[in-house]
Amino acid sequence: MIEAQEGLDWERWRRIVRDAERLGFAALRVSDHCQSVFGVEGRRSLAAWPALALAAEWTERIQLGTMVSPMTFYEPAVLARLALAVDELAGGRLILGLGAGWNVAEHERFGIPLPPTWRERFDRLEAGIARIRETFAGRDIPLLIGGTGQKRTRTIAAREAAEWNGGAPDGPAYRELSAALDARCREIGRDPAAIRRSLMKSCVVGRDLDELRRRVVEIARVVPPPRLTGETPDELLESARRRWFVGTPEEVAGQMRPFAEAGVDLFLIQHFALDDADALELLAGEVAPRLA
């Protein structure tokens, strides 16, 4: 999972795409924002859909998608046409992640209208999904819906999603959220097994403590407080441990395993240190096999 608004450029994107394909990752997702969501002025922000079009040309196997495209950014039929084009280039490997839109500062700065209430935003999302389905005209491009809202998010995911992405602090909490989605599916007559379950979380992985310290310092250059806090590498690691997967490959796999046992089918690891290909090597070569 690449946060494109936090310093991604074309050279970095080309390397990441090729590494993700070469190393056997199941999916590559990219965010869809206009500016740093951390509020870092001047930070490069790559446009999601041109990036996905290039990724479709540069790869042959890996699933590609947005995480997620806000409906406020697009006319639904125009977004559907973008998705159809990328799916064609990718040979049917696209998943279209959709959201209601949330970043007030981003909308204000770029003059993008953002409905003032969540009810209005979800109305727009639901109407947009209906229009996108019409524009697809029989093409089966899967949709991703993220979030843990108990009412409309859960209902939209149960009705529309091929993949649901939910966040949780631990395995039991994830299992509870997933079971609630199962129940909503049964209420509307849909098979819960039709929806893949994913989890997005950041990760600091290293072969030893010195490598973990170096890696978390690099990540801290991208991720500012309050998400990652501390003056020393050890303090930064302690901050990361409170919310992320942190440790050696064996330790990280052990932290991920309870989520897998709770129903997670796909782990989406936020990769903030965009020039750190070695972290991707560790995830693919030493963490993933321990979860197989």
* Per-position DSSP letters for 259-275, written without gaps between them: HHHTT--EEEEE---TT
What six digits make up the tokens of 227?
């998400």
Output the pLDDT for position 16.
98
Output the pLDDT for position 146.
95
Q: What DSSP state is assigned to residue 285?
A: I
- Yes or no: say if 221 and 262 are a contact pair by the CB < 8 Å rule: no
**What pLDDT band is residue 244 in, cutting at 50, 70 and 90?**
very high
Output the pLDDT for position 234.
98
Residue spans per domain, the chain: 10-291
- Percentage of the chain surpassing pLDDT 90? 98
| DSSP reduced 3-state for 179 | helix
Q: What DSSP state is assigned to residue 2?
A: B
Dump strand ranges (E) for 122-240: 143-146, 163-165, 196-205
User: What's the predicted TM-score (pTM) here?
Assistant: 0.95
What DSSP string describes 139-152?
Answer: ----EEEE---TTH
Output the pLDDT for position 177.
97
In tens, the pLDDT along 181-216 reads 999 999 999 999 999 999 999 999 999 999 999 999
| H/E run at residue 279 | helix 277-282
In tens, the pLDDT along 103-145 reads 999 999 999 999 999 999 999 999 999 999 999 998 999 999 9
Output the pLDDT for position 138.
86
Indicate whether 218 pLDDT > 90.
yes
Mean pLDDT for all residues in the chain = 97
Give Cα separations from 41 to 12, 218, 246 (angstroms).
20, 19, 28
Output the pLDDT for position 292.
87
Indicate whether 72 pLDDT > 90.
yes
Which CATH number applies to 10-291: 3.30.230.80, 3.40.50.880, 3.20.20.30, 3.40.718.10? 3.20.20.30
